[in-house]
A and B are shown apart, each in its own frame.
Chain A
Amino acid sequence: MTIQFNKETFRDDYSFKNSDWAIQRFPFPFHEDSYMYSVNMEQHRGGPAGSVYEKRFDVDEHYISEMEDRAMVLADDPLRCQSLPHMTLAGWDLLELIMVSKSEDYPDLFELHREGDIWRWINKPMGIDDTFTFLDETTLPYGPMEYITRQTQGDFCVLDQRDDNLWMDAGMVTTQADWSLDFDIGMNFFEWHAPVPLAHEKGIFKRALKFLLNIQQGAPARRLNWTMTVNPLLDTSPENYHKWGIQKTTLTPENIGAKQHLRVELQSFFRLPRSNALVFPIRCYLIAFQDIVKSPKWGRRLHRVIRDLPEELATYKGFIDNRPMMLDFLSKYDDGLPTSPGVFPDNETEPALQK
């Protein structure tokens, strides 16, 4: 399949939109009609054909525009990309992982040619054709992590593993849900998760960390996380809260279907070979409420999940004030019929809306 790349923006006039293809394959995060934090991790070794789970690094119609948005964020704030000195090798590991994966998974878009340490990388969608020496930083325009993550959708945290913990010692973070790399850099797994409500008490982080420390090369894992964003903004960082926080008050019953977006992160975990670090790609997918409710099952379920979500979670995720308005909108798409298990829309088998 060849991908038609959209020309669109995630700021100012917000021309971002999802095609029918993108809506159909959206990673809807709820497998049942309620939601609570859990150790929701599974192996990342493929998934249904065409789904966002199929490839190691999903490439979709937003690729080019997301990379343009990242370049703009970095131009304004270079601290969104940081790497402590001992993480350079992990950066090369990440560059290799992405180049090898993308050239194998999307041979029509990406090519990698290796002659010993001389590597040639061709990124057709972005018009890049570079030859460089592997492990020699002077032959690339940026450090290895920055170079490759300027060409790959999603944020990246590169975690050093030592003393039975993970340390956020490098990252490229421009599409985050209200947390800051500059603040978290050098922190460990428990420290950067400190603000999350309820999950510590439930023992989720303790178990999740043990699992992550055991992740082995060739056996990546993944999980989904989600939140809400008004307007299709990629960069909802604390650094820019003054710009986007205020937009949450612009929601009205008339514009909510178009403006309110469900924001889903497909998070994956890969062991890196030379450095033994762990990389944590956080791929953000946005979808407008009006597009979600095109699938009757998703409309019914989203209403029930948002209605019954514990207050602590709605507060932490930053939509407690807008929840009543969301529920007014979503309730129109919930006729009380049961929903099929699992995340997929099942449009062929689920009954149409009965109201």
Chain B
Amino acid sequence: MAGLAAVFGSGAMTNSIEEIENADCILIIGSNTSVAHPLIATRVFRAKAKGAKVIVADPRRIPIILQSDLHLQQNLGTDVALINGLMHIILKKGWQDQTFIDERTENFEELKKVVEHYSPEKVSEITGISVEDLEKAAEYYAKAERATILYTMGITQHTTGVDNVKSLAHLAMLTGNLGKESTGINPLRGQNNVQGACDMGGLPNVYTGYQAVVDQAVKQKFEEAWGATLSDKIGLTATEMFPAVLNGKMKALVILGENPVVSDADCLHVEKALKALDFLLVIDIFKTPTAEMAHVVLPGAAFAEKEGTFSNTERRVQLLRKAAEPPGEAKPDWQIIQELSSRFGYPMDYASPRAIMEEIAKLTPSYGGITYDRLQGDGLQWPCPNTEHPGTKFLHQGRFTRGKGLFSAIEYKPAAEMADEEYPFQLTTGRVHVHYHTGTMTRNSPSLEREISECFLEMHPEDASELKVGEGDWVMIASRRGSVSSRVKLTDVAGRKTVFMPFHFLESRANILTNPTFDPVAKIPEFKVCAVKIEKMDRSDKSISSPP
């Protein structure tokens, strides 16, 4: 969320899910909404039925384009050029909201200067989108009374991820689409409690509620509350930890409910790092490939077996009720953590998750008014600073967290790894509708496995016929980092020389291929683009039951 934080001073979905259905224009960019966030797609369907213009910008012909008025099929990794192009057209036609720009933003001139260079012709050249469609998109978005932007990993998982997000924020500010109902810029969170993990300080630079670890006053507050001496040195991000293990600086890892052996870019590298550790502790509900490598594995409870809260993508804190006991000797993770901490020498003794939330509310201004008693109905959307506060439906009304919205100059930079002679295809990764993340939960669900149980590589039929492969044939896909095999699925969902693979499958780990080169600010690897070569494999269909 570093991109939004730089522009507005805070990073989260600005508006609420229910507001989407009343927008007049929806720009969906880098989000396979009906697959990854189906219940948000519902709101898009409704907006469309009420007459909204829906623009989908995605290199692939994803299902939501069936509901769109315009599909912009930009080349992989050219989002900044696309958005600069749209802003260029808006400024040229005078469609910007000058009052909003004058009153609520700063540094507009700098944006104007850089956008100047992005003529529709030049942008068309870079993105592969026709000038006509660019103009149509700019008009739909800028002329709508209430326009909203929805985006996900398709925007952030690039070396230019932060630039992409900032550009989108600029587009919204330029047209005054912020701080009002049914507008805004809305990152759709991929995992159910990503928002919560961030809100709770599961980040190396902040405590709960984004309070900086380098801020001495904040540090002092937490030292007093926790009775401990705290470090004011910013810690390592996940993507920095694995190299730190390999160069010997990091010796032990504690992993709670994550599976980096499948989820992380260049996961062979991750596997090597985990093997090099002196000590690895994993807490999970399944024996994941990551757990297999641990020295100690502790069995946790699933969401249905404990109390607690989740914060959804619209900042809504919701209360989980316990429905059943965990299996065997498994225990709720909060109990495991407190027992571990006590044995480590830092005693913790919370009676229940409710007691933990009381401490969170005391130390976290944006959660200050959140109590279990108040969460009984619809939950509460933060910021909710005190127990009288009703919660916040949309952010930035009247004023941004940082005061004025900050424009800046952003130039288009190509993806870090472009296709070349040796690796002639561009690979992009993503989800399928029945699976989730590394599949530890969904692949243990028979109904979901029945829908899709095997990895596949989507390939354009013309590329396939050049390689002499047909539907269902096995191919070997290799990048500079490693290789995996998969069956081929012929489809013209994407253009020529662009292939797609879901990342949920251990048998064909797409992330063996992906590029760990990350965005310099947000440190998100470039999952969405890497260069690969593809070769037909010499095995008959029946001779193998699972890929090598």
Q: Is the pairing of A and B real?
A: no
